[in-house]
Structure formats: structure tokens, C-alpha cells
A and B are shown apart, each in its own frame.
Chain A
């Protein structure tokens, strides 16, 4: 059923939000912030997850979440102290909940005893504080989630002081055995119900009429109102409860449980006696036969709704009307009680000595109390009530983004069409186009801001990963996150999870050393992985740093030579060696480890990041650590580029990577022994890449007429691209090539120019890496 699928989708969405919230809350809780707001938020999150899981029958999840929730409930009300041990157990429990959710989502089966150990620890902790007590806690929880309503035991004796006072003449609870009337032959299916509501029954908006209506569904009923307790009008209290009822009920296979179930909601708010006929209920409060009004309600159809409103609704009304000398309030709950009570009060005050009437002055609606979790909860949650927000289908936003992208192209095309001639003739048009360009840019920024999300949503998954890695490797690792509120386009964020996971695995597996080794090196036993995000110009930088071993260059180079990635006679620089870890098929692990191995190397990271127009760079300090920097475009959609010409074809270079441009005639090139060329720029040597040569095209120009585009790739390593011509700057919309072709080394994608021509987007970093290989080959 598709509805169900929709609900499930909503549920899993919600779960991932809740899991993120849990991560966040526990990050703070771990840091010592164990205030009530956080604990409540945690409890609610688990509670919501459990609630939804119950609806879809994810029984494993329900069972675990229930045990966990109970522990949290105890923590929340102070019965269990939130020690570090409990915090750690909870963090582990979050992971198990997440696994259950994932399993539920993917339809996998988890082991039946998965999380059993933790569940038992919940049990132990809870039992510890309860002193091994009453309700059986462990195990059998699932049954509680039966769809059926559990019949509720109705207690005749009202002892609780919470329960408001019974009416003036309380009905003595009488044991059936004590009835002194001679036993009559038992007629199966005949029952007598004596029903005496207390005042609070009405204050909770329950209504005897509705109860009768429901009884009428069970069988044939006969209702008698006991009106003996109705006081003279002068003593009549508007909220007083003066009426009780006796109901005879008949249906062939009627059980006591079925009758009691009707009164389920009013348990404690009334006195109920249910006796099979054959016993006689002695009139408790009324020794003299009361003035009795009788109403007959025919056995209704099984279907409750078949009973017409009139049939039922008329019953008590008639009842009231027929009651002799009784004030018209035998049935105090009417359609508009507040109103009728008020009327009644007026009547009373007219005919009785003045007395305070506690009605008719409805308090102004109580001002909603300030939320207990107000300020505290707000900063942490994405559910803060302060920010007004609407939910919009992502598809709709994407459509707008796409249209705006097309608009940007059209606008840039229009601008291109304006040659000098036209500009001089149509100044108004030029001004209009300038305004259009500005507005388009503004529109684009605003639309992209809609799709932007804090990287938090990805970062928050990492603490768990690090914990798992620490456990598996036996290392001690601490994760720090910085700048998690930095916003990136949602589409970029979605692509970020895998590369980040891989990079962190790499750091934990290859970077961070064993505690002993760290100690020996004079480092803290606990290794640190720092994950940070910041905006730098038109880019977002995501940096994964660790204070571990750094890249083992000797081994990397050896492996690269073994695999033929680096020729034996070439001596790459340290920086070049570090980059080799991104080369396809490269893996430094001697044996493919369970953690970062998995048969793929860091080249997957690189290709994923390239796919979204980003680049990766690594720096390493032997024995001190390494840093990997992901540079990502703010948005996937539109890119500021410089349009250049190589041979007869247009190419575009992302503007964000260009440092400067110059003419070849003024540049100083030098040959290097490896066969390549370098460019000397203000005393610095920069690797030269001839784009025409690289892409197998023929340059149409004399060497001196060509241009150098000096680009900065990662880690301030510069590279000089030699192109035939520089045309100008513009904005383009990135189109992926991989949908139609495969990934092409040195090309980040394609785009359609304003004049309709297709241009390829140069991948500066890719060209560089390729050049290293080529030199090596």
C-alpha cells in the first residue's frame, strides 16, 4: 500500500532527524551538560522513534527502544544517575537504535539477540534502583504494543486522594456475596449496572449519555435514573452531581469484561457495579424507591453509527422531562454546558439566597506557560519554535534551481550578444541588461540559500563512526568538529557522506597510532581527529586532520613504484608522493583491513569529490599528523569561469582557481630534467601544462601569442596552463559528463555557453595529478 510507504518514508526521515538530534545532545551530555532539557529531548527522541516503530511493527526496534526509554525515564526523573558509564551505555544504545532503524529501512534482519547485552544492562541499572521490584521488566514488552486495548481493571473502592470527593451520599461498595435477597435463577446474559458518576467525570468531558449509547451497542438496555439525591433548588450547585443510574442490560453472550470496557475511560471517576442478574443489587443510597424515569433503548445494530443521533440523544432528555419535581439538571452535561450552567446559575441566584456561584466567570484562557525547555532546547534542535519555516518538497526547489540556472545562461547569452555597436546605440537596453544581471545573480543566491543546509547533518554521523573505529582498532580517538553550521548546498552534502567516512576511516586506521606508540612518542594517548568546515571565497573547505603518524612516504613511494605508478628513475617531491594516495588502485594497507580497506582506496574519495566539482588535497607531517582538505563549490549549479580557447575549441576554467593570467611572450619557461617544463613566476617555479598538447589538439597560434593561466590548486601548489586565447569571464551551468560518457581525466564536466556551443570544464587538480603520472610513465 502506497500510503503505508509514504508514512514509512516520513518515519525514516524523522528518524534520521531524531538520530542527529541524539548525536548532538549526547555530544553535549558527554561534555558534562546533563541538564533536564537535554535529558528530556533525548527521552522524547527515543520515545518518538519507538512510537513510529510500533506503528509499522518493527518489533525489534520497539523492544529495544522501550527498554532504553525506560532507563531514560528513570534518568530523567532522577531515579538513575547519569554517570559516565550510563552516558556511554546510552551512546552505544543510540548506535543500536540506528542499526535497528537502518535494518528496518533496508528490510534486513538483525540477529534476534542484537542489543540484548545492552538491554540487560538497562535492566540491571533500573533494577538496581528499584530494588528488584514489582512489574516484570525484562523481555516481554512487545505484547504491550498489541493493537487491542488492554481491558482495564475497574476498581470499586475509590481510595486515591487524587480522586475528587464522591457525591454526598457515597454508594457503599457492596460485595455481591453479601446480598441478602434470595438468589434468583440465573439468567445468562442479563446484567445490572449501577453507575454513579463523580464530579470529575464531567470535568474530564466524559458524558453518561455517550456511555449509555455505547452500552446500547452491546445489547438491549433499560436505563433508570436515580433522582433521590437531587436537592431543593435553593441548595442546587451548578457543578454538583446529583444523579446516578441503574441500567439493565441484556445480550445473549454478554460478558462482564465487555460491559466494564465501556466504562474504561471513566474508571476512577465514577462508581460502577456490574452484577449478573440473579443477584439483586440492594439500593445503596435510596431506601425508598426513587422517583424513577425509565427509558427504553432498543438493541442497536452492531454498528455504533447505525444508532441515530435522535434515538440516543432523546433518551436522557426525556428522562429529565419525566422526572417529577426534579430540577432540570439530572443530566448535567448538555451540548453547551458552560452556557446552560450559567443560565442555571442565574436562575438559582434569582430564587435562592445569594451565594457565591463558582461558575459563569470563565477564566481568561491561561497564558501558555513558557516552555520549560525553551531557550535551552532551541539552540540544539531543529525544531525550535522561534524560526518560522515551511516544509517544501525538494523537487519543487530543484525545479526552481534549474530554472534559475537556465535564466542565468540566458542572461549571460544576452549580455554576450551586445557588441560595441549595439551598446552605443541602445544605452537603455544596456542598463536594463545590467539590472537583469544583478537581479538574476540575487535570485540565484537566494534560491541556493534555500537549498543550503548546515554540514552538521553529515558531521553528526561521524562521532559514531569514530567510536566504532576506536573500538575495532583498540585505539583511543577523540573527534572534534568545528564549523558545523557552515551551510552547503543540499546536493553537495548528500555527496559528502561517503568521502568523509572514507577519509575518517583512513585517519583512524592509518593515521592515529596505538596508545603505546603515541605514549612512546610523547603524544597524548588519545589521538585527535579534527573535522572542520569553513567558507573560503566561493568554496567550502572541509578539512580532516589528525595528529597521528602522517603519511609513510617511503612505503607509499615503494608501493607506487611496484604498481608502476611512478617510474623508477623519477624522484617525486614529498608533496607529489602524498598525492599518490589518491591514484586509482592505490592502497597502502598491507592487507586489506576491515576498516579502511574494503578493496577501494582514496581514489574513490577523489572521484566522488570531483563529481561534485570539488578537489582534494593532502598534506602530511611525518610523525605529527596529516591534513586532507576538500574544496567544494558552494553550489553545484552555477560556476564562475574564465572562457579560454584551446585549438578551435572553447574550454572553461573555474574562476575560483585562477590566480593570474599573462602572455607567453613575457613568461620565462625552463626545461627540467624529467622532461617537463616549469614557469618562473617571481622566483617561484611552477609546473607547466600545455592544455592543447594534453588533450591532443593542435595549437593554432605561435608560441609567443599564447597565454598562461596561472592556477592555484590545493595547498597553494600552483600550476600554469598554457592556452591559445583568453575570451572572458562568465557564469555557466555545470553539466555532468559521466551520465553520457565516462569520467575523463582532467575534465570536470561540460557546459553550454551563451552562444549554444558546448565547452568542457578543465579540472586543474586532475590535470596536475595526471601530469605527475605521465612524467612518471
Chain B
């Protein structure tokens, strides 16, 4: 079964790179440019794993994750946080909000895929 990944980032560059890497690895990729759009996509699609940036306009990643977790049906949806910070606080905030794991930008394609498999069945 093809896994469906929702990528949420306000950077077109990052979205494009994620799309490229993930679709080459056989995932189906959906995109959103901020948290609000991400929620909209989640409402209308079955998603297996979410990859989200933290700093975004309109609705940031933390708010987005909180909203996803608050919505009952997505409590077990794996959410990976995209982060450039190695300083722990962004990552901790993301985790406290309900993030499952994280991916450090810039990501190595193989590593990205293996991190996804780490959190999805």
C-alpha cells in the first residue's frame, strides 16, 4: 500500500525537495503551505504521516500539531517536525504539542526515508 505523506512548509524549496525525495521513494505526497492548509488537507484526505515545518505564517507548526492532536481521530497519526534548530527548544515545543519525532534540515534523503519508517507501520 502506498503511504500518503502530508508535507507542510512555507518554503517552496523545501516542499519541492521533500516531494522529490518522497515520491522517488514511492510515497504519495500532499502539500500544504501553512498549518491551516495542512488541517484542511487532513480533513479531506487519509494521511499516514505528516511532516511539518515549525515557522510558518498563518498557523505555525506548533499550533498545527496541537490542532491535529485535539481532533480525536488523529491521535495516533505520526507527525514529524522539520527543524533546522539543534537547539532543543523548538523540538521540545513540537514534541510537547504532540510531535512524534523530528527531521533536521537539511535532510539526507536516505535518512529522511528511514526516519519515516521509524514512525509508521
Contacts and interface: CB of A to CB of B under 8 A. Distances in A.
Q: Do A and B come from one complex?
A: yes
A309 interface: yes
Contacts of B12: 10, 13-14
A164 to B, nearest CB: 10
Contacts of B107: 55, 147
Given A43-B55, A265-B118, A55 B17 contact: yes
A264 B72 contact: no
Contact of B57 (A304, A313, A368, A377): A377
Contacts of B96: 162
Of B56, B71, B76, B114, the most chain A CB neighbours within 10 A belong to B76
A145 interface: yes
A209 B121 CA distance: 9
A43 B14 CA distance: 17
B4 interface: no
Contacts of B3: none
A365 B71 contact: yes
A66 to B, nearest CB: 8
A338 B73 contact: yes
Nearest to B66: A366
A14 B13 contact: yes
Interface residues of B, number: 56
Contact of A3 (B20, B76, B100, B117): B20
A150 B111 CA distance: 13
Given A14-B13, A305-B117, A338-B73, A149 B104 contact: yes
A304 B11 contact: no
Contacts of A43: 55
Interface string B51-95: 001011111000100010111110111110000101100000001
A374 interface: yes
A135 interface: yes
Interface string A528-551: 000000000000000000000000
Contacts of B33: 383
B36 A385 contact: yes
B13 A147 contact: no
B84 A54 contact: yes
Interface string A58-96: 000000000000000000000000000000000000000
Contacts of B43: 365
B45 interface: no
Contact of A368 (B14, B67, B73): B67
Given A265-B119, A363-B70, A385-B34, A338 B75 contact: yes
B67 A366 contact: yes
A206 interface: yes
B43 to A, nearest CB: 7
Given A145-B106, A205-B79, A362-B73, A7 B10 contact: no
A309 B1 CA distance: 12
Contact of A44 (B10, B36, B86, B114): B10
Interface string A135-163: 10000000011010110000000000010
Q: Is the interface of A mostly helix, strand, loop or mixed?
A: helix
Nearest to B42: A365
Given A55-B105, A149-B111, A383-B57, A366 B71 contact: yes
B55 A44 contact: yes
B98 A144 contact: no
B13 A205 contact: no
B118 A214 contact: yes
Nearest to A334: B76
Contacts of A362: 71-73
A373 B40 CA distance: 18
B30 interface: no
Contact of A7 (B20, B40, B102): B20
A338 B72 contact: yes
Contacts of A371: 34, 36, 57-59
B14 A51 contact: yes
B72 A210 contact: no
Nearest to B89: A73
A475 interface: no
Interface in A743-764: none
Contact of A51 (B101, B105, B117): B105
Contacts of A269: 95
Interface string A192-210: 0000000000111111011
B106 A147 contact: yes
A340 B105 CA distance: 36
Contacts, number: 160
A750 to B, nearest CB: 40
A204 B95 contact: yes
A265 B102 contact: yes
A206 B119 contact: yes
Contacts of B63: 369
B56 A54 contact: no
B13 A7 contact: yes
Contact of B95 (A50, A147, A268, A363): A268
A403 B13 CA distance: 32
A304 B116 CA distance: 12
A590 interface: no
Contact of A55 (B14, B34, B79): B14
Contacts of A338: 72-73, 75-76
B119 A369 contact: no
Contacts of B37: 385
A383 B106 CA distance: 24
A363 B68 CA distance: 11
A48 interface: yes
B36 A368 contact: yes
A3 B35 CA distance: 27
Contact of B119 (A145, A205, A364, A368): A205
A268 B93 CA distance: 13
Interface string B16-49: 1100100000000000011111011001000000
Given A55-B106, A149-B104, A144 B86 contact: yes
Contact of A381 (B14, B53, B57, B118): B57
Interface string A383-402: 10100000000000000000
B86 A150 contact: yes
A584 interface: no
Contacts of A52: 11, 13-14
Given A55-B13, A149-B104, A304-B117, A366 B78 contact: no
Contacts of A313: 121
Contacts of B101: 206, 264-265
A503 B1 CA distance: 61
A576 B43 CA distance: 68
A401 to B, nearest CB: 25
Contacts of A47: 55, 84
A333 B13 contact: no
Given A50-B84, A205-B100, A265-B119, 18 more contacts: A44-B56, A48-B10, A48-B14, A51-B13, A52-B11, A54-B106, A55-B14, A55-B106, A149-B104, A210-B120, A210-B121, A265-B100, A338-B76, A362-B73, A363-B70, A365-B67, A365-B73, A371-B57
Interface of A: 3, 6-7, 10-11, 13-14, 40-41, 43-44, 47-48, 50-52, 54-57, 135, 144-145, 147, 149-150, 162, 202-207, 209-210, 214, 264-265, 268-269, 304-305, 309, 313, 333, 335, 337-338, 361-366, 368-369, 371, 373-374, 377, 381, 383, 385
28 contacts: A7-B16, A11-B13, A44-B10, A47-B55, A47-B84, A51-B11, A51-B105, A52-B14, A54-B105, A55-B14, A203-B75, A207-B121, A209-B121, A210-B119, A210-B120, A210-B121, A333-B76, A337-B75, A362-B71, A362-B73, A366-B70, A368-B36, A368-B59, A368-B67, A371-B36, A371-B57, A371-B59, A385-B37
Closest 7 CB pairs of A and B: A362-B72, A265-B101, A365-B71, A55-B106, A371-B58, A11-B13, A52-B13
